[in-house]
């Protein structure tokens, strides 16, 4: 599956950080992880630190799928607003999902603190009302999040103008958000687990997968066998082939990034910015003083149509930015597109399918892929250790 256009910024910025061989012999291990993107890397890191002999395989190079195209905004806000999620899942489960996403940011910060090259940076996050009609719903969202114990502020029109330089009727300013280089983090997680006997194999496509009473057996495109007690499928949107029911819809999204500038702060604390409209526009800055803009999503996943639309979408993103910030010079340096999947409730799918007790899924679908992947890695590690985890129920395949 073609997950992204050519030349995403993060890949051009860092290139191939570490490379690994393909699998050339039969092996046995405790756990095998399919997928060497950010989801698979976080799962492998947690499992290896829990004492499991872990092997990671990917048909591409490490991080070369959707991870290389990720814009890596880390937010606790799920694509489905808390007000809507309560209607879908009930207040207890909806609030717990938001609080787990909030905790995931702190947990990611703890892990990333040992690797400066991943550029983990705490930021506030601003969500503004795209239209006047959105203010009432945004106010309710503010009240529900405050009741849940989440730290955030209500900003009125004058404060938004003073702090951010554009005019909108109202906004929520959340204290807890962050940005990271997902591609660099993926490499750091895998490379720094080598001392824990983690094995990584590039260019190793799995063509057959069987589960039996003792575990799983995988066969590669070159006929090599991997026998393991457990399997973690972390192939992102490509994981659908292993799931009998439809759990996702595929879309296309677009991003541009500016040339670097001699400006260290463009707006209040260089906060992450997004909006209430759907699909939403989002912005963030980078450590070298660029501005990254994403959005203008399409409801199709055709790589041909997606890549064909990229130039027009880039112009549309530039125009949207200039409407907000006519006083800030923006010249596109790089542009790219990628595919992403959405679920009906905006939550990930984590855990086992009925009748498949040895196979776990770590599917951080939607706009919160990295925080969801962190939650998945923690839940799956506890389940593999035999520790009951009530949170797994929130993201299971049999949820309403």
pLDDT digit string (tens) for 119-147? Answer: 999 999 999 999 999 999 999 999 999 99
- The band of 282, judged by pLDDT with boundaries at 50, 70 and 90, is very high
Q: Which one is predicted more confidently, 364 or 267?
A: 267
- The band of 321, judged by pLDDT with boundaries at 50, 70 and 90, is very high
Of the listed ranges 64-73, 159-168, 263-272, 374-383, the least confidently predicted one is 64-73
Using CA atoms, how far apart are residues 218 and 164, in angstroms rounded to an integer?
52
Task: For the chain, give the mean pLDDT.
Answer: 92
User: Could you report the per-residue pLDDT of 69-110, keeping only the tens digit for each?
Assistant: 788 899 999 999 999 999 999 999 999 999 999 999 999 999
Q: Does residue 303 surpass a pLDDT of 80?
A: yes
State the DSSP code for 286: -
Given this model, what pLDDT does residue 4 score? Answer: 47
112 contacts: CB under 8 Å, gap ≥ 6 = 118, 120, 180, 185
**Neighbour tally for 118: CB within 10 Å:** 22
pTM listed for this prediction: 0.93
Percent pLDDT > 90 in the chain is 79
User: Could you report the per-residue pLDDT of 4-19, keeping only the tens digit for each?
Assistant: 445 566 555 666 778 8
Using CA atoms, how far apart are residues 5 and 117, in angstroms rounded to an integer?
25
Of the listed ranges 81-90, 202-211, 337-346, the least confidently predicted one is 337-346
What does the block give as tokens for 201? Answer: 């194999």
Beta strand extents in the chain (DSSP E only): 27-34, 54-57, 73-75, 121-128, 152-156, 170-179, 199-201, 206-211, 216-220, 225-233, 249-258, 272-275, 282-285, 291-298, 332-342, 349-351, 359-363
User: Could you report the per-residue pLDDT of 162-196, keeping only the tens digit for each?
Assistant: 999 999 999 999 999 999 999 999 999 999 998 89
Cis amide bond preceding 279, omega within 30: yes
Identify the bridge partners of residue 340 per DSSP, sorted by sequence position.
251
Domain range list for the chain: 9-69+183-247+346-395, 122-178+249-341
Given this model, what pLDDT does residue 3 score? Answer: 42
Given this model, what pLDDT does residue 13 score? Answer: 61
Using CA atoms, how far apart are residues 335 and 369, in angstroms rounded to an integer?
20
Q: Does residue 302 surpass a pLDDT of 60?
A: yes
Given this model, what pLDDT does residue 308 score? Answer: 92
**CATH of span 9-69+183-247+346-395:** 3.50.50.60
H, E, C per residue of 150-191: CCEEEEEHHHHHHHHCCCCCEEEEEEEEEECCHHHHHHHHHH
Q: Which fold has domain 122-178+249-341?
A: D-Amino Acid Oxidase; Chain A, domain 2 (3.30.9)
Of the listed ranges 115-129, 132-146, 300-314, 349-363, the least confidently predicted one is 300-314
Q: Which one is predicted more confidently, 18 or 2?
A: 18
Spatial contact of 108 and 72, defined as CB atoms under 8 Å apart: no
Of the listed ranges 133-137, 156-160, 346-350, 364-368, the least confidently predicted one is 364-368
Given this model, what pLDDT does residue 15 score? Answer: 63
């Amino acid at each position: 599956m073609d997950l992204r256009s050519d030349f995403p910024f993060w890949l051009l910025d860092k290139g191939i950080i570490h490379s690994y061989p393909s699998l050339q012999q039969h092996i046995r291990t405790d756990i095998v992880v399919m997928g060497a993107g950010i989801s698979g890397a976080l799962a492998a890191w947690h499992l290896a630190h829990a004492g499991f002999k872990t092997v990671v395989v990917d048909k591409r190079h490490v991080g070369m799928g959707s991870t290389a195209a990720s814009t890596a905004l880390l937010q606790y806000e799920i694509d489905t607003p808390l007000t809507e999620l309560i209607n879908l899942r009930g207040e207890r489960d909806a609030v717990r999902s938001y609080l787990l996403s909030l905790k995931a940011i702190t947990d990611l910060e703890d892990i990333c603190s040992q690797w400066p090259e991943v550029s983990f940076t705490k930021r506030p996050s601003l969500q503004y009302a795209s239209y006047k009609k959105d203010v009432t719903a945004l106010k309710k969202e503010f009240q529900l999040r405050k009741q849940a114990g989440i730290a955030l502020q209500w900003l009125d029109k004058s404060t938004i103008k003073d702090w951010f330089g554009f005019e909108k009727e109202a906004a929520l300013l959340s204290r807890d958000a962050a940005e990271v280089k997902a591609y660099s983090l993926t490499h750091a997680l895998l490379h720094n687990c080598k001392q824990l006997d983690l094995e990584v194999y590039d260019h190793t496509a799995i063509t057959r997968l069987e589960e039996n009473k003792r575990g799983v057996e995988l066969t590669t495109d070159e006929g090599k066998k991997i026998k393991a007690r457990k399997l973690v499928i972390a192939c992102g949107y490509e994981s659908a082939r292993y799931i009998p029911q439809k759990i996702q819809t595929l879309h296309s999204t677009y991003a541009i990034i500016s040339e670097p500038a001699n400006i260290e702060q463009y707006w209040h604390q260089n906060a992450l910015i997004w909006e209430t409209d759907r699909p939403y526009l989002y912005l963030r800055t980078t450590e070298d003083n660029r501005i990254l803009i994403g959005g203008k999503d399409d409801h199709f996943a055709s790589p041909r149509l997606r890549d064909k639309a990229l130039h027009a979408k880039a112009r549309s993103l530039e125009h949207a930015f200039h409407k907000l910030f006519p006083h800030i010079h923006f010249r596109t340096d790089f542009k790219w597109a990628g595919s992403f999947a959405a679920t009906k409730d905006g939550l990930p799918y984590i855990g086992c399918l009925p009748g498949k007790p040895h196979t776990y899924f770590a599917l951080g679908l939607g706009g919160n892929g990295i925080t969801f992947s962190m939650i998945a890695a923690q839940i799956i590690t506890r389940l593999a250790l035999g520790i009951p985890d009530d949170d797994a129920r929130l993201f299971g395949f049999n949820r309403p």
